[in-house]
Amino acid sequence: MNKKVSLIIKTLAFLAILFTCFFGVMLLVERKSSFNKNQAFFEEAKKDHIDAFFLGSSHVINGVNPLQLFEEHGYTSYNLGGYGSVLLSSYWQMMLALDYCTPKLVVVDSYMLENDIRYIDDPAANVDSDELHLNIDRFPLSKTKYHAINDMFQNQDEKYPYFADFIVYHDRWKELGAEDFKRFTKDADINRMMGAVMEYGVHSAEYNYVDYGAGMLEQETVGTTYLRRIIEECQSRGIQVVVVTLPFLAMGENQAAAHTATQIAAEYGVPSLNMLEIPGIIDINTDMEDPGHLNILGCQKVTSYLGNYIAENCPLQDHREDPAYENWNDSLNDFHAELASMREGNDDIYTQLMMLQYDNSDKTYAVSIRGASSVYGDAMLLRQLHSLGATEKLDEAAAAKCSYMLISDHGIITDFAGDSEEEFYIETTDGSFSYSPASDIYRVLYINGDTENNFLYADDLAYADVQLLFFSNGVCTSHQYYTSDHFTYDYDQR
């Protein structure tokens, strides 16, 4: 008998050690993207520091910045948007999150409301399994997760990797890096943007937003069913709901979906905000990464608008002065530091100009385009310069293919077009500028009368198409050169 008991104890001890080690290996090899996106949620939810959830697809991930909301209104929220998410997966994302905290407000984006595919493993759903893993892997296996996976998938074999992601990630043993081992320490890299991801690109096409005069969706869809379930679930728990449609290049069916979302919100008596139909929130040609996703510029505008809407319709508590939320300020400072690092030195000219649009109020800078440059054919570049404040002189320069110069003194724009010996003088906060566009290639820019240093000419970069110069206290702090080859820009920095 003693032998049997000893055997049982030994077996149990062995299994305990085995499973502990196995758990460690699971954490080591797991793909860290889900941990990265959602870990801050668990940390904040544990402290009950989340007052609002944002639900939706990647439109929401890229379109709503919780840190900006905190900065402007003191609202604490988490962006639970999921890559490739439809309303079905947003519903379950919310249910998973509700296991860890109960917010006061849920904001749900109606994108893909027209989607009528019941299961996300239906090939027609076109959902990338990696994306769903990213959205939910960090949520431990629970009763809710079990129901979520059973509800979202029809094929039993497709479900297993979501119940136990080791099934897909064990093969990562060959790509383990330092970040993987940091999973066991406190210094693992996690998303401090509270689930949001900023995009720093600009699409290259020129779009016009068309109002198709769409009505409503003709019938109930899987999307509408799950939007209703989200609203009903929130109402049953006493959580306020706002139904929104973030701006994007919507087609007729998308516009009908947005109208239907508004109607469903009205049925339940919850507020709704269809940003597709509010003119002027964003400029679709400069504020989007692609036709569907906002870039940081668009995100800033949309978040600001949304924050004001929440403040008016369902205000939340302002936590900015609460010392318990100090880490939100820390995250905000990190975000500002990242922005500061992005405002200069971008090798992508479009990103660089976009970052100048994002915030140029505290800088003096100059943009110079050489005469006869091919970049005058780059419509996207010209659009961005106009957004920065370029006047019709830019169009004149483009038409004549002559030299162009834009000087921004803390947001105050002065620009010049033409090639001549004439000298122009501009007084700025950061010095007195003297500009003379002698020829296509040879232009002169002196500062504070220092004629020894012409900032616009260097032998080795004489044919740079675009030069961008930042100034501070009479000193050029950064000089960026962009040389175009069929609108692909080579970059140099001095």
Partner 1 sequence: MQFVSLTFLLFLIITVGIYFIIPKNFRYIWLLIASWGFYYKLSHKLLILLVAITLITYVFGRLLDNGESSEKKQKRPVLISGIVILLLVLGYFKYTGFLLETVKSLQSAMGLEPLGIAAKIALPVGISFYIFQAIGYLADCYMGKIPVEKNYLHLSLFISFFPQVMSGPIERAGNMLPQFKEPESFSYENMRDGLLLMMWGYFQKIIIADRLAVLVDHIYNSYENYNGTLLFLATIFYTLEIYTDFAGYSNIAIGSAKILGIDIMQNFEQPYLSRSIPEFWRRWHISLSSWLRDYLYIPLGGNRKGFARKLINICIVFAISGLWHGAAWTFVFWGLLHGLYQVFGILTKPLRESITDNLGINREGFALKLVNVVVTFMLVNIGWIFFRAPDFKVAWYVLSHMWTCKPWVLLDGTLFNLGLAAADVRLLALSILVLAIVSALNYKGVSIRKALTEQTLWIRWAVYIAAVLFIVTCGVWGPGYDAASFIYSSF
- Residues binding partner 1 (CB under 8 A): 7, 10, 14, 17-18, 21-22, 25, 29, 160-161, 166-168, 170-171, 173-175
Specify the amino acid at residue 479: H
Q: Measured from the CB atom, is 168 or 258 closer to partner 1?
A: 168
Chain center to CA of 366: 28
Q: Measured from the CB atom, is 14 or 463 closer to partner 1?
A: 14
Q: Measured from the CB atom, is 173 or 212 closer to partner 1?
A: 173
β 431-436/424-428 pair status = antiparallel
DSSP state, 208?
A: -
Strand order of the sheet with strand 404-409?
412-417, 404-409, 364-369, 466-472, 475-485, 488-493
**CB 279 to partner 1: min, Å:** 47
**CB 15 to partner 1: min, Å:** 10
Radius of gyration of the chain (CA): 27
Task: Tell me how crowded residue 124 is: count the other CB atoms within 10 A of its CB.
Answer: 9
**CB 141 to partner 1: min, Å:** 14
**Tokens of residue 276, six digits:** 């597709």
Q: Identify the three-state secondary structure at position 121.
A: coil
Which helix (H) or strand (E) element contains residue 244?
A: strand 240-245
DSSP state, 465?
A: S
**CB 416 to partner 1: min, Å:** 57
CB-CB contact of 358 with 297 (8 Å): yes
**CB 4 to partner 1: min, Å:** 9
Alpha helices in 55-196 (DSSP H): 58-63, 66-73, 87-98, 129-136, 143-152, 156-163, 166-169, 178-181
Q: Identify the three-state secondary structure at position 438.
A: coil
Which helix (H) or strand (E) element contains residue 253?
A: helix 252-268
**CB 115 to partner 1: min, Å:** 24
Q: Measured from the CB atom, is 17 or 141 closer to partner 1?
A: 17
- Separation CA 367–CA 397 (nearest Å): 13
CB-CB contact of 294 with 63 (8 Å): yes
**CB 13 to partner 1: min, Å:** 9
**CB 14 to partner 1: min, Å:** 6
**CB 134 to partner 1: min, Å:** 16
**CB 183 to partner 1: min, Å:** 15
Q: How far is CA 94 from CA 247, 248, 324, 472, in A?
A: 22, 23, 25, 48
Q: Measured from the CB atom, is 132 or 243 closer to partner 1?
A: 132
Q: Measured from the CB atom, is 163 or 207 closer to partner 1?
A: 163
Q: Measured from the CB atom, is 146 or 173 closer to partner 1?
A: 173
**Tokens of residue 426, six digits:** 């501009």
**CB 147 to partner 1: min, Å:** 21
Q: Identify the three-state secondary structure at position 68.
A: helix
Which residues are bridge partners to 424 per DSSP?
435
Q: How far is CA 331 from CA 183, 328, 471, in A?
A: 20, 5, 29
DSSP calls for 138-163: TSPP-HHHHHHHHHH-S-HHHHHHHH
CB-CB contact of 234 with 241 (8 Å): yes
**Tokens of residue 83, six digits:** 């890559």
Q: Measured from the CB atom, is 173 or 463 closer to partner 1?
A: 173
**CB 352 to partner 1: min, Å:** 37
Q: Measured from the CB atom, is 23 or 207 closer to partner 1?
A: 23
Q: Measured from the CB atom, is 10 or 47 closer to partner 1?
A: 10
Task: Tell me how crowded residue 191 is: count the other CB atoms within 10 A of its CB.
Answer: 19
CB-CB contact of 121 with 155 (8 Å): yes
Q: Measured from the CB atom, is 163 or 212 closer to partner 1?
A: 163
Q: Measured from the CB atom, is 156 or 185 closer to partner 1?
A: 156
